[in-house]
Amino acid sequence: MAILLRMPEVAANATHATLQAWTRQEGDKIAVGDCIAEIETDKAMVELNADTAGTLGRMLARPGQEVEVGAPIGVLLVNGETHADIDALIASSGAIVVPGAQPPAQEPAVPVEPLAAEPATAPARIFASPLARRLAAQCGLDLAKLTGSGPNGRIVRRDVEAAQAPAAVPALATAPASGNPAPVQDAAAEGFIEIPHSNMRRTIARRLAESKATIPHFYLSADCQVDRLLALRAEINAGAARKISVNDFVVRAVAVALREVPEANVAWTDTALRQFRTADIAVAVSTDTGLITPIVRAAERKPLSAISAEIAELAARARAGQLRPDEYQGGSFSVSNLGMHGVGEFSAIINPPQAAILAVGAAQAMPVVRDGKVEVAQVMRCTLSVDHRAIDGALAAKWLAAFRRLLENPLAMLV
């Protein structure tokens, strides 16, 4: 019998998701495991794969439509049912078809199964970020005619903006013959354009506002002298196939410090303080649609080279929107590094339900006093944001001291 395809709960506690694109057409044969549609979560793009073989009988949601989790988005025909069977299935299930769904076929008596008798070719998939798809639809651009400059040729926001740049700001309309001023018809006439919020941007706004409003933040800073670290990094990279970044050292030092001070590897809940057994480090990565934090699991058990490779691979897939939910959900501690952008110091907002996040600035030449003498050293300022409910000041200071010691004596974090 026909099967209703419903919007899956692709992320924990999600109530809605966006059907970004159908990858098959009505009448296409579907095998088990085939990708039917792309679903946009608040963090990434997820493929909706078929659990049962059949034929895509009807699409009940349009591309770009936000749909409630559990609501029907399509119908999969298994035994050659007709369009009339689809209508009966929807009626008998009591399902409410989402607004804006495609209308039913005009010939309900014609079976759908024969449509697949001729080999059906799925349309070529166009890889584009969710924001690029929205902007292209808003500007009336055909993504198939654009060349992507993102990872693996993915179309990103700048590609869409470049394609429609000549017509981005239309000329102001002249005043009508009556002499009355012409009303402003769109935002562009006011000197700006409005870009619809992505699911990711809405989620980021909600979570960060909730974090600042409900978590009692306090902050500790430490100036870390990283001359030895930079020298060790240069020595490693001189003969290594994979180049190690300063951020790789930071993530390793954070994980080892959490192993040394496990009381800081915690999260606050309403009923108990949750202490984690492993240091699962969430690393902030900037993408076209917002910030995402893929997680390096059990980083205290992994060598520096493995951490470096994992961060690079996770960051690349994050920017391509290809992370699985389990790769960015959870984590016990976050690291946000803006040093590569020349930022000397900043404080970060805690990512709930975690209890701490480390903000890392750039290494800068600064005067320091060593053995009573003023010398120039490479100094990196790190600021720890802490949830005072879970970690008090003395414990936070103990953890930060351990982290600083590891950065300043990097060989200690490698054993």
Burial classification of residue 364, based on how many CB atoms lie within 10 Å of its CB (0-12 exposed, 13-18 middle, 19 or more buried): middle
Name the nearest CA neighbour of 360 among 269, 414, 281: 281
What's the total number of domains in the chain? 2
Cβ-contact 387, 356 below 8 angstroms: yes
Picking from 101, 116, 131, the residue at the C-terminal end of a domain is 116
Q: 251-265 b/e with 16+ CB inside 10 Å = b?
A: bbbbbbbbeebeebb
Q: Is residue 60 part of a domain?
A: yes
Q: Using the structure block, give the residue that is written with the tokens 């010691």.
A: 405
- Give the rounded distance of the alpha carbon of 11 from its chain centre: 12
Cβ-contact 298, 332 below 8 angstroms: no
Cβ-contact 393, 261 below 8 angstroms: no
Are 106 and 223 contained in the same domain?
no
- Strand segments, DSSP code E, in 153-240 are 217-225
Are 75 and 221 contained in the same domain?
no
Sequence-separated (6 or more) residues with CB below 8 Å from residue 241: none
Low pLDDT (below 70) residues in the chain: 10-14, 42-44, 93-125, 130-131, 150-152, 165-189
In this structure, the dihedral spanned by the alpha carbons of residues 257, 259, 262 and 266, taken in order and rounded to 10 degrees, is 80
388 is an active site residue: yes
Q: Is residue 205 part of a domain?
A: no
**What is the reported pLDDT for 97?**
54
d(CA 325, CA 231): 37
**What is the reported pLDDT for 322?**
85
pLDDT in tens, 19-78: 888 988 888 888 888 888 888 776 667 788 888 888 898 898 888 888 888 888 988 888
Q: Is residue 266 part of a domain?
A: yes
Q: Is residue 75 part of a domain?
A: yes
Q: Are strands 217-225 and 35-40 parallel, antiparallel or unpaired?
A: unpaired
Picking from 87, 116, 145, the residue at the C-terminal end of a domain is 116
Q: Is residue 165 part of a domain?
A: no
**What is the reported pLDDT for 391?**
98
Are 245 and 357 contained in the same domain?
yes
d(CA 164, CA 140): 9
Q: Is residue 134 part of a domain?
A: no
pLDDT in tens, 318-371: 888 888 888 998 899 999 999 999 999 999 999 999 999 999 999 999 999 988
Whichever domain contains 395, its CATH number is 3.30.559.10
Active-site choice (16, 197, 217, 388): 388
Instruction: For residue 360, list its beta bridge partners.
Output: 337, 382
In degrees, rounded to 5, the angle at the alpha carbon of residue 232 between the alpha carbons of residues 228 and 235 is 140
Are 87 and 220 contained in the same domain?
no
Are 89 and 216 contained in the same domain?
no
**What is the reported pLDDT for 217?**
97
Q: Is residue 24 part of a domain?
A: yes
Picking from 116, 140, 157, the residue at the C-terminal end of a domain is 116
Sign of the Cα torsion 176, 182, 185, 188 reads: positive
Q: Is residue 340 part of a domain?
A: yes
Are 250 and 394 contained in the same domain?
yes
Neighbours of 222 (CB within 10 A): 17
Domain that holds residue 66: 3-116
Residue type, 45: M
**What is the reported pLDDT for 104?**
42
Neighbours of 176 (CB within 10 A): 9
Whichever domain contains 111, its CATH number is 2.40.50.100
| Predicted TM-score (pTM) of this structure | 0.65
User: Which two three-digit tokens encode residue 273?
Assistant: 């303080």
